[in-house]
Structure 1
Amino acid sequence: MASPSQIITLFLLLLGAFAEARDPFACDPKDATTSNLPFCRVSMPIPARVKDLLGRLTLQEKVRLLVNNAIAVPRLGIKGYEWWSEALHGVSNVGPGTKFGGAFPGATSFPQVITTAASFNATLWEAIGRVVSDEARAMYNGGAAGLTYWSPNVNIFRDPRWGRGQETPGEDPVVAGTYAASYVKGLQGSNGERLKVAACCKHFTAYDLDNWNGVDRFHFNAKVSKQDIEDTFDVPFKMCVQDGNVASVMCSYNQVNGVPTCADPNLLKKTVRGQWKLDGYIVSDCDSVGVFYNTQHYTSTPEEAAADAIKAGLDLDCGPFLAQYTENAVTRGLLNEADVNSALTNTLTVQMRLGMFDGEPSAQPFGNLGPKDVCTPAHQQLALEAARQGVVLLKNHNPSLPLSHLRHRTVAVIGPNSNATVTMIGNYAGVACGYTSPLQGIGNYAKTIHQMGCADVACADDTLFSEAINAARQADATVLVMGLDQSIEAEFKDRTGLLLPGRQQELVSKVALASKGPTILVLMSGGPIDVSFAKNDPRIGSILWAGYPGQAGGAAIADVLFGTTNPEGKLPMTWYPQGYVSNLLMTDMAMRSSPNRNYPGRTYRFYKGQVVYPFGHGLSYTNFVHTIASAPTVVSVPLDGHHRSGNATISGKWIKVNHAKCNKLTVGLQVDVKNTGSKDGTHTMLVFSTPPAGHWAPNKQLVAFAKVHVPAGSQERVGINIHVCKFLSVVDQSGVRRIPIGVHDLHIGGVKHSLSLQPATLGVIKT
């Protein structure tokens, strides 16, 4: 019998021939009055084409192009365009730019970003981006989607209660930045000037609160130090722009130090476009301009708000505000038409890089993609592989996993997420090609006895407990699939605590006490959960975290449970005990701990207290041993020649990053990874650095990560290159990045290597 995904694939193939091709957005070769205008000439440089088009538009037409639902300009043969589409982990139906149905009933739904991040696999991240952009282009060609996608979300998962933490690559800036650059490269393609689709890194910056304790994102003023901005919050965005060459950056709802991000020229014009050299456009989060006028009361008049946003560097408004008030702002002298032209130059350039002014879509690169290229078997296989790589084995006592086909013929599958489908794809998802729930996945390996135990994740009562306990008594093994869903953590909704909701913990403990065989706890969630009770309960043999594992999540979970897949995921965020958040305000943005005010600090880089599971934790069914085959013990840091060096005390030695020759300043290591166990496995190798002691420095920071497949009993050598200026530097209290001179300890698993950074000339700059 065909699976649901096979049926949908066949349905797509049958529909493929009937999909309508999209008419040209502009420059239709059949329209003789417009197709020969200079801005339609593909042979001309894009800047010249944009300049020609701008010269033909009236001010009234220009201001209606400053918003997401840009108007048509029929006299120039240009159709209307909806800029707002989303592709966080697959083509999404959030936003009006994408429509499912007809020839496109669904799209491949990959694991939520927090799960994919747990793979620590940049190659996978880029591969997912390529698949998503294939499907996006196919849907665009069929008239069902746009080409501008406001994804990915690369904000730092600063507080474990944040409802949108699930959308992010986790708490580490380097992981988030590497994810951003990798996924963006996959989405946008490798053709330099030309774009497959246009990606967008959001939400810039220090945005990580939705609605907590009466404070919402529309009113929140994030008070952030220069040190934390440079050291943490801006790192992923800078890497997204400079390493990923992203086509867009989105400014956020909140204020940063009293200024709305979408009205701050220091953030937009000076930093994103000036220092980082964004080659693209800056867009507001939806209705952000209206929010800072109507809700934050940042300006006296709406015209001032429109003028402030555009002069700050905003090019496009998701929302109607700029279309309503920009013309009056120009008329009143608050804004020059040249400022409007500058904004449109950036958006029109991206549209031309996408080929939207090149005539027939079918004649362009990617013009052959259609319904046959959506939900393909290869795409769905990648979704399954991504889910497998993202599953994290947190505990494996005795060990209890993997389960045996022979000994565990009957499995009790219990819990509110045990037969989950839509829950598995998290938020900002579209319509999946099909689903394999945990119950279905486990059913492919063993006979199942299914009981929900709780009516939903809220688990308000124990009405269904007795049936669940009875099922555990009968089965050879028990799998409890518990956790959260979008009713607990979501956009607009931050969590109040870190424990399992309602009476879930009680259900788990009672079922474990009654279970005849091993008890396995599987958790679905975006944020961390305090499961100390299960960690410390010997009756609960193993704990898996699956995040929100996407359309194939149930198959991936089952593959790990029965050992077809050897788990390789690592936690991309710290799992804290409930006590961590008891007196911790979400509104306090400081990253570093402060004993004077009893402030614990945030993320593994700055928090030193007790954890349930640390960042980077994840077990395997085999054992890996590291040996450093070669690594330097001393590295010279050359100065750029424009600064004289002077002496400094040993305790205060450092070099400003902008005073060093950084271009090719890397540390190369060769690490041997040996699999001393009995099962083949893929090892996720994390390399941390502990800088020389000092109040600027984190406890440790991730400086590199790599994946390596090692068959049982064999050994593989892995090369690691660490960019000194980027990853071995720290940031001072003024927001200046510096390289500490002295001993940096590199940690790889249980191995430590000491590396001494020394100035190439005598003495060190100190200013």
Structure 2
Amino acid sequence: MHSSIATALLTVASSVLAQDFSNDGNYGSPFPDTTYPGFESTNPYAIAGSLSNQTSPPKYPSPWGEGLGEWASAYSKARAFVSQLTLEEKVNLTTGTGWELDRCVGQTGSIPRLAFRALCLQDSPVGVRDTDFNSVFPAGVNVAATWDRGVAYARGQAMGYEHKGKGVDVQLGPVAGPLGRTPEGGRNWEGFSPDPVLTGVMFAETIKGTQSAGVMTSAKHYIAYEQEHFRLVPDSVNYGFNITASDSANFDDVTMHELYLWPFADGVKAGCTSVMCSYNQVNNSQACQNSYTLNYLLKGELGFQGYVMSDWLGTNSGVASVLAGLDMTMPGDSNAYDSGDSYFGANLTVAVLNGTVPAWRLDDMAMRIMAGFYFVETNITRDPINFSSWTRDTFSYEHYFVGEGWTQVNNHVNVRSDHANLIRSIGARSTVLLKNVNNTLPLTGNEPLTAVFGDDAGPNSNGPNGCPDRGCDDGTLGMAWGSGSAELPYLVTPDTAIQNTVLAAGGAYESVLSNGALDKMGSLARRANVSIVFANADSGEWFVQVDRNLGDRNNLTLWQGADEAIAMVAGSCSNTILVVHSVGPVLLEKYASNPNITAILWAGVPGQESGNSIADVLYGHVNPGAKLPFTIGANRTDYGTDVLYTPNGDVPQIDFREGVFIDYRAFDSHNSTPTYEFGFGLSYTTFNYSNLQITKLDAGDYVPFTGYTSEAPTYGNFSTDPAAHLFPANFSRVPLYQYPWLNSTNLTEASSDPQYAAPGSFPVNAQNGSAQRIPKAGGAPGGNPMLYDVLYRVQATITNTGSVAGEEVPQLYISRGGPHDPIRELRGFERLSLQPNGSTTFSVDVTRRDVSSWDPVEQDWVVRNTTKRVWVGRSSRKMELEGVLA
């Protein structure tokens, strides 16, 4: 790049990447270049805006919620409630009480005076974590593989009812971060897809479904939390890495808006009540105290009306985080679990009393929390919390860690209802048929001898919950590991389900469930008429290490010695079916080309009904209609991105030089041929695409939003005398518990906040409660409402040309036509059910947002004057119909 052009671009990029005061320090000289072997974006903004040690801009004040759109009623109720609160009661709403000191994984203080019990916050995005008599649902990546909005809503609603039945107020999910920048990312399976549109739709529908059950959601992890390695210092040190702060994701404003922020905009528009900020830094400012991402983007541009909570121990300061937009700290402890200290709690009381945190800012924190509550709840009366996260025993300690308050903590309430049927259906409808030579599938069940092979077909000998937080890979993979997991009520293995199916049909059945028993596998496979071999690949969260994988996968190969097992079986049986349970992409090139492997299915992480779900597909009870929510490449290097496995400095710098080019966008841009492309999936029937129609609608011109907020409101008064805020007389304290009262009338002594500072020492506008200009791209939850105007309607006719009923997912792709844009991007899809010879219309409304590009200079979306081509096809590579938006 010419030096003068590079300087100009870097100047523009720096205008949106200037120093944020919440950055915890200057890390000195640049670290070595850490670009991974792969691809750089062609967009000069992406290159200039993805530099190591770049910084994030200060954006203040933190916008106050105003009850925009559907939030008006919730804000009215919250206003009436918050107006009654004392200073300490407001602080109690914002502060977790401490780790293992109450029943839920996160619990706020209560307001007994108003009969408001503590808010219970509980994992996970697949089911109620750390309890019993709950269901375990298919993972988010499976939901994405269905490409079915209704599935996302139904699963969200069912999970919401189960959380509600346990007394949970906030379900910690769903997940849009990680998005899936690197295929090895440990928590990708908790989310949906590396495509922002597919993720955005499933994210939004899950939010709506969960909240329809009266449970708040926590849309997470915001933002650019794309790997597990180096997310937290203590875990990193425990693993032998010498770092001083969590890793920094460094990237530009275009990539932020067109990729990572996109699904969060969908979540905000859908009404998510809270957003969880992540562990990583964004452009060298901690995500939970990054004023640009929290104040400007989330609360300003996206018009988010709910509250921001920290991930557990993700709060790195008190006053700085509050002014940068953090509304709730979890689990309440600072620096370490059960530390006895908190950045909020009494320190927040001090900060309000001494003026470092304006009263209006605390009021806004309380208002946002209570508005979120009233957005899904009708009144403050709720059923009690009926479980303990820390023990399955019926009787134990209320304050578990310190051993106080012996009582009944578990009522063992069964909340599963009939959800097993839904789970089984989702598991089957999310299974992707990748290969099916000469209609090998479906099987009949009465083949003379059916043989099943592999560790992944059988049980964990220690039981389905034999490893804490599912932190092992023993037996079949029904659930990956970490805080995104839940206790399985049971796990139906493929061995059990297939055996039941075969025996019911009168066939013979044998299995070898150890990948180490290669000779026995070969002997059985030589006799079998059909051999079904199961294999998996696991991952999870950084705090658990499995087979030397620190959350993130070390590779994209199969686990448990599965390659040797597959080679033995396929070498011995010319009718071998491969079933893969995995958290994401695995390398399948050699199996796709093996003539003895006649069928391949990807079954993901299907939850408790795993075996029944795959049996339903293998034997034709369900015709597969799922599509891959990611690309399966021939080589690991084809993805162009990778995990940073070794620190490149005291503060690991992860430079997103690829910009928006991840997954299929990278494959398309660099003309890499995948084994199976994004959106690919076969069926037991066939479909025809015809009659493309493009209709231009009169939506009018885009108008950037103009306007100001009101002045920051305050609710209620409080005494400024520190003596009025001391602990009440004769108050009995629980050790290590976080309380809002002071120990001393000396405000400096009463505060342990390391970033305590005198009034007036903060950035310009950080304490300014006057009316503020709303960003041009803002104006409503989800952004400027005109972004969602429908500009075109694209339709096509889909016909089932086969002999059995089936489901197809036609996909709409658009080229925005710019020189640095992806070749094509998903912009619409629909899962359609069709009888033989039946036809239906596939229809997608193309919004202004779908054809817009982010302009970092204008700080707004623009529709550029370029030719915009559209395709309707079966996948990202198989385009059946083509046209132009004119």
Q: Establish whether TM, by shorter chain, passes 0.5.
A: yes
- Aligned pair partner of 1:207 in 225, 241, 247: 225
Q: 1:284 corresponds to which residue?
A: 310
Cα gap change, 1:217 to 1:318, in 2 (>3 Å)? farther
Give a deviation string over 1:504-552, Cα, whole Å, max 9, x none. 212211211112x510000011120011110111111111000011111
Distance of 1:583 and 1:130 partners within structure 2: 37
Deviation at 1:412, TM superposition (A): 1.1
2:247 equivalent in structure 1: 220
Matched, 1:175 2:175: no
The aligned amino acid for 2:294 is: L
**Matched letter for residue 310 of structure 1:** V
- Encode CA deviations 1:212-238: one digit per residue, 9 max, x unaligned: 796999611110111100110000101
Q: Report how far residue 346 of structure 1 moved.
A: 1.7
Aligned to 2:657: 590
Structure 1 position 737 matched with structure 2 position 849:
no
Structure 2: segments with no counterpart, 5+ residues: 1-72, 99-105, 231-235, 334-341, 385-410, 465-476, 503-507, 540-544, 644-653, 706-776, 874-878
Distance in 1 (CA, whole Å) between partners of 2:204 and 2:549 is 24
Show the counterpart of 2:140. Answer: 113
**For the structure 1 residues 440 and 65, does the alpha-carbon distance in structure 2 shift closer, same or farther, using more than 3 Å as the test?**
closer
1:260-279 aligned at under 5 Å gives the runs: 260-279=286-305
Amino acid at match of 1:399: N
Deviations for 1:90-112, whole angstroms, at most 9, x for unmatched residues?
2222xxxxxx2xxxx32222111
Equivalent position to 1:627, from 686, 690, 693:
690
Q: Which residue of 445, 453, 461 maps to 2:514?
A: 453
User: Who is 1:7 aligned against?
Assistant: none
Amino acid at match of 1:536: S
Structure 2 equivalent of residue 434 of structure 1:
490
**1:254 Cα deviation after fit:** 0.9
**Aligned partners of 2:441 and 2:599 also within 8 Å:** yes
Partners of 1:637 and 1:235 lie apart in 2 by 22
> 1:499 Cα shift?
1.8
CA distance in 2, matches of 1:441, 1:616: 28
Q: Does 1:162 align with 2:189?
A: no
Deviation at 1:420, TM superposition (A): 4.3
Which residue is equivalent to 2:372? Answer: 350
C-alpha displacement at 1:76, in angstroms?
Answer: 5.0
Instruction: Assess, with a 3 A threshold, how the Cα gap between structure 1 residues 539 and 756 changes in structure 2: closer, same or farther.
Output: same
Contact 1:54 1:341 in 2 (8 A): no
DSSP 3-state at the match of 2:796: strand
Please state how far the C-alpha of 1:696 moved relative to its aligned partner: 2.8
CA change 1:149–1:738 in 2 (3 A) is same
Which of 149-158 and 482-491 deviates more? 482-491
Residue of structure 2 in register with 1:308 after alignment = 320
Alignment-derived partner of residue 764 in structure 1: none
Give distance in 2, aligned partners of 1:641 and 1:314. 31
Partner of 2:58: none
| Residue of 610, 626, 641 corresponding to 2:673 | 610
Q: Which amino acid aligns with 1:47?
A: A
Q: How does 1:478-493 map to 2 (within 5 A)?
A: 478-486=531-539, 492-493=550-551
Greater displacement, 336-345 / 542-551: 336-345
| 1: CA distance, partners of 2:455 / 2:562 | 9
Amino acid at match of 2:308: I
Shift in CA distance, 254/465, structure 1 to aligned 2, threshold 3 Å? same
1:459-470 map, 5 Å:
463-470=516-523
What's the counterpart of residue 525 of structure 1? 582
- Taking the aligned partners of 1:660 and 1:253, their CA distance within structure 2 comes to 31
The aligned counterpart of 1:682 is: 807
Contact kept, 8 Å, 2:792 with 2:885, in 1: the verdict is: no
CA spacing shift, 1:500–1:546, aligned 2, 3 Å: same
How far off is 1:736 after superposition? 4.5
Corresponding residue of 1:751: 880
- Verify the 8 A CA contact 1:227 1:736 in the aligned structure 2: no
- Residue 70 (structure 1) aligned to one of 108, 118, 122: 108
Secondary structure of the structure 2 residue equivalent to 1:713: coil
**How many residues are treated as equivalent by the alignment?**
644
1:552-610 CA-to-partner distances (Å, cap 9, x unmatched) read 1111111111122111111101112334169854334233489xxxx999655755323
1:715 has 2:839 as partner = yes
User: Could you tell me which residue of structure 1 aligns to residue 280 of structure 2?
Assistant: 254
- 2:771 equivalent in structure 1: none
Cα distance, 1:414–1:502 mapped onto 2, change above 3 Å: closer
Q: Deviations over 1:473-511 (max 9, x none)?
A: 222210111012346699951112212236421221121
Contact 1:169 1:176 in 2 (8 A): yes
Which among 400, 403, 406 is matched to residue 440 of structure 2? 400
CA distance in 2, matches of 1:59, 1:639: 44
Q: CA deviation at 1:275?
A: 2.0
Question: Which residue does 1:198 correspond to in 2?
Answer: 216
Classify 1:217/1:690 alpha carbon distance in 2 versus 1 (closer, same or farther; 3 Å).
farther
- Contact kept? 1:158, 1:171, Cα under 8 Å: yes
Which segment drifts farther, 575-584 or 152-161? 575-584
Q: How far apart, in 2, do the equivalents of 1:160 and 1:449 lie?
A: 35
Identity %: 22
1:335 to 357, 364, 375: 357
Match for 1:172: what amino acid? D
Deviation at 1:752, TM superposition (A): 2.6
Q: 1:164 Cα shift?
A: 0.6
Question: In the alignment, is the contact (CA less than 8 A) between 2:479 and 2:607 conserved in 1?
Answer: yes
Which stretch has the larger CA shift, 248-257 or 333-342?
333-342
C-alpha distance in 1 between matches for 2:527 and 2:243: 48
Output the amino acid matched with 2:615: A
Residues 635, 755 of structure 1: 8 Å contact kept = no
Seen in structure 2, the aligned counterparts of structure 1 residues 641 and 269 have a Cα distance that, compared at 3 Å, is closer
Contact 2:200 2:266 in 1 (8 A): yes
Aligned equivalents of 1:56 and 1:285: distance in 2? 24
Post-superposition shift, 1:688? 1.0
2:170 corresponds to which residue? 148
Change over 3 Å in CA distance of 1:504–1:333 after alignment to 2: same
Unaligned regions of 5+ residues in structure 1, if any?
Answer: 1-41, 94-99, 141-145, 190-194, 291-304, 363-369, 455-462, 644-655, 758-767
Measured in 2, the distance between the counterparts of 1:318 and 1:337 equals 21
1:42-72 C-alpha deviation (Å, 9 max, x unpaired): 9994133223332474687577568743234
**Candidates 355, 373, 382, aligned match of 2:422:** 382
Aligned partner letter, 2:416: C
The equivalent of 1:701 in structure 2 is 825
In structure 1, the residue matched to 2:15 is: none
Cα deviations by residue, 1:709-759 (Å, 9 ceiling, x for unpaired)? 111222222332221x121223356564332334322222232332234xx
Q: C-alpha distance in 1, partners of 2:265/2:680?
A: 27
- Structure 2 vs 1, CA of residues 157 and 607 (structure 1 numbering), >3 Å: closer, same or farther? farther
Distance 1:545 1:660, change over 3 A: closer
Deviation, structure 1 residue 347: 1.7
Question: What's 1:88 paired with?
Answer: 125
**Alignment check: 8 A CA contact 1:591 1:601 kept:** no
SS in 1 for 2:532: strand
Contact between 2:627 and 2:809, CA under 8 Å: does it hold in 1? yes
Q: Which residue of 1 is the match for residue 768 of structure 2?
A: none
SS at match of 1:522: strand
Contact 1:600 1:609 in 2 (8 A): no
**1:291-340 CA deviation, whole Å, 9 max, x = no partner?**
xxxxxxxxxxxxxx200111111110013232363344446653234432
Distance 1:44 1:685 in 2: 41
Secondary structure, in 3 states, of the residue corresponding to 2:534? Answer: strand
- Structure 1 letter corresponding to 2:187: R
1:680 CA drift (Å): 1.1
**What SS class does the counterpart of residue 682 from structure 2 fall into?**
coil
